[in-house]
Amino acid sequence: MRISVSRVRSASLLLFLFIIACTATACYNTQGPVPENPHQPPVRELLPQNVIVAEETIYAPAPRDNGTPPPECDYIRYLRYRPQTPDGLPKEVRAVLVLLPGYGGGAASFDYLGRNLVAMAELNNAGSIEVWALERRPNCLEDLSAMNAAEAARDPEVAVDYYYFNKPVNGRTFPGFLRQDEVPFLSEFGLKLFMEDIFTVISLKIPDPAVRKNTVFIGGHSLGSPLSALFTGWDMDGNPQTLDDAGYNNCAGLIGLEGRVSFTSFSTLTEAGYTRRLADIRSGKSARYQQLAGITPEALALLEMMAMYAAFAPDDESTLFQRAPYSRDVEQLIRAIHSRTLLQYITGAPAFTDYRYTNEALLGIFIDDNFQPVPIMQASLGFLYGGPVVPKTFSLFPSYLIGGGLESCLLPGTRALLIIPAAGRSINGQTLMRPAMLLIRIMRIPAAP
């Protein structure tokens, strides 16, 4: 079937008019509904946390087939959650849950879950358990020195000064965020290494295969779910005649936390396609690390700084983005998240720094599900209050490209993303937007010894 040029142009024009119509709807009304003041949550009884948490390491030299990784990458790291005992020594447990983090996550993603699972098992006399939350090997490249120092001092400025103003922490200055050409060795930090890391941890800590087969359960969050399934089918030595080292012979079962506990999404990749892709990564033709939706390492560092400001000074007016000389990449990412209309995204007016937020509200607009357009980055944290909010129209298109949002413009009655209608204005005598019931806790993996 042949499609005429005029028909393509007509379709393009209709699409353009549709975009303008969608984005223009937000321009007619500069006022929006004013959210009600927050309600206090019900009183919660805290679960007794008789849990010992420690980072454990196992020396396992990283592959050196495509460059030499830093020494920190020669260790497998995991957080171990176990019941507290009078002498502090481990006790016999019925089961060990080995949890794998999701895309962009780390071992500390399971901090709440790990603590509570161990504590609940003790409280209910259900039989003691341990939880081991594994770190993927590429996370060894994070420079957390200033983050840890800032958290210890309860002063986020320590991190801002280190990452942006060359101020040393413990005699070290920040060398800069790693570029793609500086990490060629990441081509070897793939699925094989992570499968071997899981097997190394469980086989060293639980040497008896029969015990592993009856007590070890593998599970994960998001990407960790299919990785769990892949582990059960992984043959460590690649010899189908010797299957004692196959994953399914070294665990009792899988745990479905969230995500799809299967590996069907990986099965369409052919061996030839895999070989070509790997060669491109090794040579640098393809990226050594991915940046989903423009979320760079710098953006993730800024997000952690935002979280510390929100935790330590929630009601202060945020000045982080007025002070930090962040990159053009981060500026473009902020525009994509915070622009109300396509016109605002194109022109950059009003600029993000023209808006005024408290530290808590700033964190909320970047990750709360009422404001963040990327579905896998969303969390339900509360809501803004202090003035009106209006729907956004621009963010539905980029969010649709990575998994959601188009329906907010196409389907009446579906929830739209929101934003405050104007920058730098006083609303009912208040100049700052504040969040309602925004619950925040900083979770960090302890510094490695």
H or E stretch at 51: strand 51-59
**Are both 192 and 314 inside the same structural domain?**
no
Closest CA to 291 of 390, 414, 402: 402
Count CB neighbours of 27 within 10 A.
Answer: 12
- pLDDT value, residue 266: 54
**Are both 71 and 193 inside the same structural domain?**
yes
425-to-344, 355, 356, 430, 432 alpha-carbon distances in Å = 17, 8, 8, 8, 9
Residues with Cβ within 8 Å of 78's Cβ and at least 6 positions away in sequence, in order, are 55, 56, 107, 132, 133, 134, 135, 201
Each residue's pLDDT tens digit in the chain (449 positions)? Answer: 333 334 434 444 444 444 444 444 444 345 566 766 767 777 877 777 899 999 999 999 999 999 999 999 999 999 999 999 999 999 999 999 999 999 888 999 999 999 999 999 998 888 999 999 999 999 999 999 999 999 999 999 999 999 999 999 999 999 999 999 999 999 999 999 999 999 999 999 999 999 999 999 999 998 899 999 999 999 999 999 999 999 999 999 999 887 778 766 555 778 899 899 999 999 999 999 887 767 889 999 999 999 999 999 999 999 999 999 999 999 999 998 899 988 999 999 999 998 989 999 999 999 998 888 887 788 888 888 777 888 888 865 444 444 444 444 444 444 578 888 876 543 333 445 555 444 333 333 333 33
Residue 24 domain flag: no
Domain endpoint, select from 248, 283, 318 = 283
**Are both 273 and 324 inside the same structural domain?**
no
First to last CA, the chain: 66
Domain span at residue 305? Answer: 292-436
Domain endpoint, select from 283, 303, 337 = 283
**Are both 299 and 236 inside the same structural domain?**
no
* CA atoms of 123 and 51, how far apart (whole Å): 11
**Are both 378 and 328 inside the same structural domain?**
yes
- Confidence (pTM): 0.81
- pLDDT value, residue 418: 86
Contact 394, 370 (CB under 8 A): no
Residues with Cβ within 8 Å of 216's Cβ and at least 6 positions away in sequence, in order, are 95, 96, 98, 202, 206, 250, 251, 252
Contact 128, 81 (CB under 8 A): no
- pLDDT value, residue 62: 97
**Are both 405 and 356 inside the same structural domain?**
yes
- pLDDT value, residue 137: 96
- pLDDT value, residue 291: 77
- pLDDT value, residue 267: 59
Question: Angle of helix 157-165 relative to helix 297-312, nearest 10 degrees?
Answer: 160
Residue 427 domain flag: yes
Residue 117 domain flag: yes
Residue 253 domain flag: yes
Residue 208 domain flag: yes
**Are both 264 and 312 inside the same structural domain?**
no
Contact 381, 41 (CB under 8 A): no
**Are both 228 and 343 inside the same structural domain?**
no
Strands 383-385 vs 253-258: parallel, antiparallel or unpaired: unpaired
Within 119-215, strands assigned E span 129-134
Collapse the DSSP code of 374 into the 3-class scheme (helix H, G, I; strand E, B; otherwise coil) and give the result. coil
**Are both 216 and 338 inside the same structural domain?**
no
**Are both 369 and 419 inside the same structural domain?**
yes
Number of domains in the chain: 2
Domain endpoint, select from 283, 318, 344 = 283
- pLDDT value, residue 40: 72
Q: What is the CATH number of the domain that holds 259?
A: 3.40.50
**Are both 351 and 252 inside the same structural domain?**
no
H or E stretch at 55: strand 51-59
**Are both 344 and 222 inside the same structural domain?**
no
